[in-house]
Amino acid sequence: METQTTMARQPEHAASTDAIRVAVSTVIFSLQRRSGRERPTVVIPLVRRTRDPHDSRWALPGGWLGTEENLEVAASRTLGETTGLAPSFLEQLYAFGAVDRSPSRVVSIVYWALVREDVSAQPAPQNVAWFDATALPQLAFDHNQIVDYALWRLRNKVGYSRIAHGLLPELFTLAELREVYEAILSKRLDPANFRRQVDSSDTLIPTDDFRTGSHRPARLYRYNHDVELAERGPLPQ
């Protein structure tokens, strides 16, 4: 088994060591507010392996594809088993199948997902920990490469889709939206320029509600749900 979750499932039909095996893994992005950081951090959960190969190394959550399980269901299952959270966005990322990526021939169908909850408030299951997505240890197999590719996809999509909504609650302020962009892009954005770009995008709808607190009340917005989180083309939704 290339990757494992805290509720590892080994189907009875698992292929022999001479066959090409198919696994499903998921890169799960969320945001976490850490002390000493001005903006939230993009984080992912990893599972510590308890067997060879790569015993004790951290790896992406995943497992074998069941004979009666479609790919997206398998990805959702591994996400739920690892975090206990439901994804606000789930999309197939890529298929990784280099001959030397595993001692036995394993093709991994990798998904990437977003969860809205602040994971700092969620107890992690046994053998699972959340890591800064940009400062990972050496992972098992080719999982560092997979995470790098998923981050590249996330950063590219945030520029032309409303993918940031997958990390936000239903109602949010422009400052909170800007924080998500800054966390994903790892850079500060000028508030005035950001507001102008958002206003011209027609993706946000202002509400009559305000966020109150120690600062000046800030208007709450919601996304225009006629615009998809990301363009997925003519595939079944």
Examine the domain organization and report whether 107 and 200 are in the same domain: no
Give a yes or no: residue 16 inside a domain: no
pLDDT reading at 10 higher than 70? no
Residue 3 pLDDT greater than 70, yes or no: no
Indicate the helix (H) or strand (E) that contains 95: strand 89-96
Evaluate whether residue 51 is within a structural domain. yes
Whether the predicted model's global pTM rises above the 0.75 cut? yes
- Amino acid symbol at 191: P
- In this prediction, residues 62-71 reach a mean pLDDT of 90
The identity of residue 186, as a single letter, is S
Spatial CA neighbour of 10 closest among 84, 73, 67, 83:
67
CB 128 within 8 A of CB 28: no
Which residue range is the domain that position 130 belongs to? 21-157
Q: Is residue 3 part of a domain?
A: no
Same domain, 109 and 88: yes
Q: What span, in angstroms and rounded, lies between the C-alpha atoms of 101 and 18?
A: 15
112 and 48 within one domain:
yes
What's the pLDDT at 232? 58
Does 175 lie in the same domain as 145? no
Position 26 confidence tier, pLDDT thresholds 50, 70, 90? very high
- Of 142, 157, 172, the position where a domain reaches its end is 157
- Beta bridge mates, 59: 47
Q: How far is CA 38 from CA 122, 167, 182, 183, in A?
A: 21, 17, 10, 10
Quote the percentage of the chain above a pLDDT of 70.
87
* Nearest CA among 147, 139, 149 for reference residue 44: 147
Domain tally for the chain? 2
H-only helix segments in 135-173:
143-157
Output the pLDDT for position 167.
94
Q: Is residue 4 part of a domain?
A: no
